[in-house]
Amino acid sequence: MDAPDRLGKSVTGSLVPDPASDTENRTDYWKNRSPGWTAAASDPKPNDDTFNLRLIEEIGISPDMNVLDIASGTGDPAITIAGKLDTGTVTACDMTSEMLAVAAARAAKLSISNLRITAGNMIALPFPDSTFDAVSSRNGLMFPDDKTGCAREALRVLKPGGRAGWMVWGPIDANPTFLAVNAGLEKFFGEQFPPRLIRHNLGTPGLLADVITQAGFAKAEEIELKQERFIRRDDDYFRRAVSRTAPHRVGNLSETGWAALLDSVQNACANFREGDLYRIPIVARLGIGTAKF
């Protein structure tokens, strides 16, 4: 099965794609988004570790390992991995220096000393062959065109027998709060916030395993990750979602403006409300590749 040919069919038909989607593999796109990610990282701790811990378990990280986190951005799951290591290290690698600067700042605030930072593109990783015991990557593999080439690079830098794990978003209809947050933004700002469908292009079951197999891993597995998060109205969740989605629109908002914007977003999320809480369904996929010995 040819994974790239199927990628375009992995999202639901009625949605209008974001014309900017094809820019998400570019450094300037993420550089421009980094203020939103910086704001969202005001608390340096990971805000939800459920899927990170599953990734760590599946790739078999042990305390003495040297781990590479690809497309680490502002440091997830690298920061969680760092906490699992003793003599080992984790290297956070990403093509966008502005995102990595946030990862470094988070690590410093948390007194993490075993996290290294290296700028680099996942299609040509700046490391010698067989450098790392394990490789992780969360929400990055959807963006490059040549996903198989990127997975092949991960295999190249992995030691024999090592495991790599890629987490990606599931289909957009299984993650409906993305659309609801955009609807709240549209109502508030009176402009369109089209869904970023590129985020979901590996969401169809089987695509990730195809990419991993085609890259040359000896074994490929794929798992659905599913959870429901229960969020209080005053939880930082909505503010983080808005900061990341519309960094260009919220930079100069007053606190009164923010309160009105969050009202609009929470009203758009009314379908998810249960009493005092919002029930947020989250579906991701985890692909695991094992290198041959």
Ligand X SMILES: C[S@@+](CC[C@H](N)C(=O)[O-])C[C@H]1O[C@@H](n2cnc3c(N)ncnc32)[C@H](O)[C@@H]1O
Residues near ligand X (CB under 6 A) are: 25, 30, 71-74, 76, 94-96, 99, 121-123, 138-140, 143-144
- Smallest gap, in angstroms, from Cβ of residue 30 to ligand X? 4
- Smallest gap, in angstroms, from Cβ of residue 273 to ligand X? 26
Which of the 8 DSSP states describes residue 114? S
Give backbone dihedrals phi and psi of 192, rounded to 5 degrees, phi first: -80, 140
Nearer CB in complex with ligand X: 29/189: 29
Write out the DSSP string of 146-192: -HHHHHHHHHHHEEEEEEEEEEEE--GGGSTHHHHHHHHHHHHHSS-
In terms of Cα–Cα distance, which of 92, 127, 130, 96 is closest to 108? 92
Give backbone dihedrals phi and psi of 226, rounded to 5 degrees, phi first: -140, 135
Instruction: Name residue 280's beta-bridge partners.
Output: 229
Nearer CB in complex with ligand X: 144/195: 144
- Smallest gap, in angstroms, from Cβ of residue 233 to ligand X? 24
Q: Which amino acid is at 69?
A: D
- Smallest gap, in angstroms, from Cβ of residue 76 to ligand X? 4
- Smallest gap, in angstroms, from Cβ of residue 290 to ligand X? 22
Nearer CB in complex with ligand X: 153/222: 153
Nearer CB in complex with ligand X: 214/266: 214
- Number of C-beta neighbours around residue 29 at 10 A: 16
Ranked by CB distance to ligand X, the top (closest) residue is 73
Q: How buried is residue 226: exposed, middle or buried, by Cβ count under 10 Å (0-12/13-18/19+)?
A: middle
Nearer CB in complex with ligand X: 7/264: 7
Nearer CB in complex with ligand X: 74/245: 74
- Smallest gap, in angstroms, from Cβ of residue 51 to ligand X? 9
